[in-house]
Amino acid sequence: MKLKRLHSCPAAHSAASEAAQAARGRTWWLLLIPSAISGFLGVWQVQRLQWKDQLLSDRAAALQALPVAVSETAGSPLPYTRVTCHGQLLHERSFLVGPRPRSSMGQARPGYVLITPLVTEGWERAVLVNRGWVPAAWRDDAALRSHGEPSGQVEVEGIVRGSEQPSRFVPANDAASGQWFWIDVPALSHAAGLPMDTPLVEVVDAGGGSPQRGTVPTTMDVLALRAQAGAPAERLPSPRPAGDLLAFSVMPSDHRNYAATWFTLSGATALLALRAAR
């Protein structure tokens, strides 16, 4: 029996080809989706850049402004307002927030952030003072604390700050046991027997240098060392350098680079899509 080779109909093949081309013609714009997404991300990075520049400008202006007496302000002053406080530090009501380890010469040292209430005469006004970083020995070493617990009337100048925004990996504070892992201003105020709207004033080191890239906005990258004679080599507690308040994990230059990368990718994918469409 002879087998005959079957040949496809040229007309049917041509019709199928034209239908496929028509379908591709209607859906070629889908190739532009990666370009549109990249362009959107580039625009978003530009918006983030503008927001970060404005934020840095506002903070720099606040840091350079003349301080105001917190006793003359109504309610809680705006964040990053420079203020002065006169009163007595209640060291017996201090809080250690942490742990907040710090590294020096390749070695990590455990420590905490020290927050102490300050009240004016007659308890007419009170603030929480973030005095800075202290080593872990501060908790049990009375001799060490004696170098950093002034008595009587003191004057404190600092910056008004708000509560920290902890990540999901940070444990919850336990006020009952006195364990504080992140700064929650209303909760700390309540634990100290102060009104819930008590402001937090953070002491900063004016000689902290220029802003550097930081890991988190709330770090105090200063290590307090002790001399061999027993006296602290630096002030204890160690306040945060002023430059840290102008540092972010993502600086404006990073947003600028990200935007350039996304726009370049958007243009390249758009050209590839148009070439494929043709």
What is the domain partition of the chain in residue ranges? 31-64+248-278, 69-247
Q: Contact at 8 Å (CB) between 80 and 160?
A: yes
pLDDT score for 240: 84
Closest CA to 147 of 160, 159, 138, 156: 138
Residue in the structure block whose two tokens are 């958007």: 266
pLDDT at 108 over 50: yes
pTM higher than 0.85, yes or no?
A: no
E strands, 142-233, where?
153-161, 200-202, 204-205
pLDDT > 90 in the chain, percent: 44
Which tokens sit at 240? 């945060």
The span from the CA of 60 to the CA of 46, in Å, is 21
Pairing of strands 126-135, 95-97: unpaired
Q: Report pLDDT for 175.
A: 92
Cα(8)–Cα(190) distance, integer angstroms = 86
Question: How far apart are alpha carbons 261 and 254 in whole angstroms?
Answer: 11
Q: Which of 156, 170, 92 is nearest to 125 (CA)?
A: 156
* 89/150 Cα distance (integer angstroms): 8
Which pLDDT belongs to residue 247? 83
Which of 173-177, 222-226, 264-268 has the weakest average pLDDT? 222-226
> How confident is the prediction for the chain on average, in pLDDT?
81
Residue 90 pLDDT > 90, yes or no? yes
Q: What is the dihedral of CA 171, 173, 174, 177, to 10 degrees?
A: 100
Query: Which of 28-42, 173-187, 237-251 is predicted least confidently?
Result: 237-251
| Structure confidence at residue 5 (pLDDT) | 54
Report the C-alpha gap between 139 and 96 in whole angstroms. Answer: 8
What per-residue confidence (pLDDT) applies to 230?
40
- Residue that the structure tokens 């917190």 belong to: 70
Residue 43: pLDDT above 50? yes
Whether the bond between 237 and the residue before it is cis, its omega within 30 degrees of 0, is yes
Q: Is the pLDDT of residue 239 over 70?
A: yes
Q: Is 75 left (phi over 0), alpha (psi -120 to 50) or beta?
A: left
Q: Give whichever of 149-153, 210-214, 257-261 has the largest mean pLDDT.
A: 257-261
Which tokens is 197 given?
A: 């709207």
Give yes or no for a contact between 199 and 76, defined as CB atoms under 8 angstroms apart.
Answer: yes
| Cβ count near 177 (within 10 Å) | 7
Cα–Cα distance measured from residue 224 to residue 240, given in angstroms and rounded to the nearest whole number? 11
User: Over the stretch 157-216, which tens digit does the pLDDT of each residue have?
Assistant: 999 999 999 988 999 999 999 999 999 999 999 999 999 989 999 998 875 444 443 333
Q: With 60 as the cut, is the pLDDT of residue 246 above it? A: yes
Tell me the C-alpha distance between 112 and 237, whole Å: 10
Average pLDDT, integer, range 143-151: 86
The mean pLDDT value for 137-143 works out to: 89
Report the alpha-carbon distance of residue 194 to residue 117 in Å, rounded. Answer: 9
Mean pLDDT check: name the lowest of 55-64, 115-124, 145-154, 241-250.
241-250
Residue 155, Cβ neighbours under 10 Å: how many?
Answer: 9
Mean pLDDT is lowest, of 5-14, 27-36, 89-98, 237-246, for 5-14
Q: Given this model, what pLDDT does residue 192 score?
A: 94
